[in-house]
């Protein structure tokens, strides 16, 4: 797992207020999600294996509620434990 990915997941856990859309997108794409454009400035992240979906507006910084949802919906805690 790339060190950038590990650092961003740790940042999502400890500082969910300071995450940009690009950082969130990087993490979710690297854990297997697909990104589709939704309506307006919203993007849909979809994981084909687990069928989990999350719609996120493209704003800087991304609101904390979306960061927390992504962290728990896509099991990013589990990805951190797999880094070893």
Q: Residue 34 maps to which CATH number?
A: 3.30.920.30
pLDDT, tens digit (0-9, with 9 covering 90-100), for 21-43: 999 999 999 999 999 998 888 99
Closest CA to 7 of 75, 55, 79: 79
Return the pLDDT at 80.
79
Return the pLDDT at 2.
86
pLDDT, tens digit (0-9, with 9 covering 90-100), for 29-83: 999 999 999 888 899 999 999 999 999 998 888 999 999 999 999 999 888 787 6
pTM score of the predicted model: 0.91
| 54 SS3 class | strand
| 46 SS3 class | strand
Return the pLDDT at 4.
93
Number of domains in the chain: 1
Domain range for residue 30?
3-81
């Amino acid at each position: 797992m790339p060190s950038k990915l590990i650092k961003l997941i740790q940042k999502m856990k400890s500082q969910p207020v300071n995450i940009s859309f690009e950082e969130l997108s990087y993490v979710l794409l690297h854990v297997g999600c697909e990104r589709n454009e939704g309506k307006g400035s919203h993007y849909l992240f979809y994981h084909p294996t687990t069928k989990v979906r999350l719609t996120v507006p493209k704003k800087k910084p991304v609101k904390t509620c979306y960061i927390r949802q992504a962290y728990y919906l896509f099991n990013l805690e589990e990805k951190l434990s797999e880094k070893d």
